[in-house]
Amino acid sequence: MLSNTTVTQMSFPHHDFLSIKELSRDEITAILDLAEHYVVQNRRKSQTNVLLRGCMVINLFLENSTRTRLSFEIAAKRLGADVVNMAAEGSSIHKGESFVDTLKSINAMLPDVLVIRHAANGAAADAAKILDCPVINGGDGTNEHPTQALLDALTLKRRFGKLEGLRVAICGDILHSRVAKSNMELMEKMGVHVSCVGPKELLPDLPNATSDMKTGLKDADAVMVLRIQKERLQKTLSFTDEDYFNAFGLTAEKLKYAKPGAVIMHPGPMNRGVEIEAALADDPNLSLITTQVEMGVATRMACLDLVTRKTRR
């Protein structure tokens, strides 16, 4: 881990934060170290910070969100920024205005950071071409969710003290999951072995993918469970929720396929009794689900801090 002085003074070479693909292993490590700094800060009685005083952060969430939108809002406010939240229902997009015209109007208002979530792949990159301020990708279609991958990595690193050499099984709808894509990209760079498990119709064509739970969970240090992304499906699935739970839903019995003491993760939203049994999700010794939420605030504080460093100087 880098020293406290180093992480609070490090430079960030990217104007925007759009993808895990654009980050090097060293940059990921530095971001995680800075996020660790904010975990410590957030656990103090006084959480006030004036780092981004006078900065305006706009959260443009054109897809529904609970954890990501709230944690970006809390992260910005804990850094002292002013925050404006914008959704499709309350915007002129709902009246038929184009995405591009909405972005041009936002840019004319001179925000300091735009955080965007959108149903279309590449929407964040498109926004970055129009906005003068830094753009942070809060999830674009089935493409990427980079801050989720970082907070998941921070959660694992805090639990195990390392990332290199860990084995993680990702279970569920891998094909439509931006969380899975960003996590696999990050974990490959950080030396984590990943296996993907799920029904064949929800699996990409990857050498590490299997529909056999016993094979996929074998020796896993952590099992990351994903929901079925029904809003992105192009055709009706061949199985019911009950069928899915029986075959792929994570239960205490299926978790025995993993390494003893393996931990459980879920990015949310969670469908109890479909992809995971309720008792397992709430197990205080094994479940890291609420820890992921806490790490999300700290990670997003780190991202907001980094993308504004050039303009704050």
Distance CA 279, CA 200 (A): 27
- pLDDT of res. 94: 73
Distance CA 208, CA 77 (A): 41
- pLDDT of res. 41: 94
- pLDDT of res. 57: 98
Output the six-digit token pair for 126.
Answer: 């498109």
Residue 293 CA neighbour count, 13 Å, CB half: 11
Specify the fold of 4-144+294-312.
Rossmann fold (3.40.50)
73, 212, 233 from 238: Cα distances, Å: 39, 17, 12
Q: Is the distance from CB of 154 to CB of 292 less than 8 angstroms?
A: no
pLDDT digits (tens, 9 = 90+) for 221-246: 999 999 999 888 878 899 999 999 99
Closest alpha carbon to 16 in 122, 152, 92? 122
146-291: same fold as 4-144+294-312? yes
Closest alpha carbon to 227 in 293, 168, 170? 170
pTM of the model: 0.95
Q: How many residues does the chain have?
A: 313
Output the six-digit token pair for 30.
Answer: 């530095």
- pLDDT of res. 3: 57
Q: Where are the domains of the chain?
A: 4-144+294-312, 146-291
- pLDDT of res. 40: 95
CATH code: domain 146-291 is: 3.40.50.1370
**Bridge-partner residues for 170, per DSSP?**
196, 224
Name residues of the chain where pLDDT drops below 70.
1-8, 313
- pLDDT of res. 5: 56
Distance CA 174, CA 180 (A): 6
26, 81, 222, 247, 272 from 162: Cα distances, Å: 14, 32, 13, 32, 30
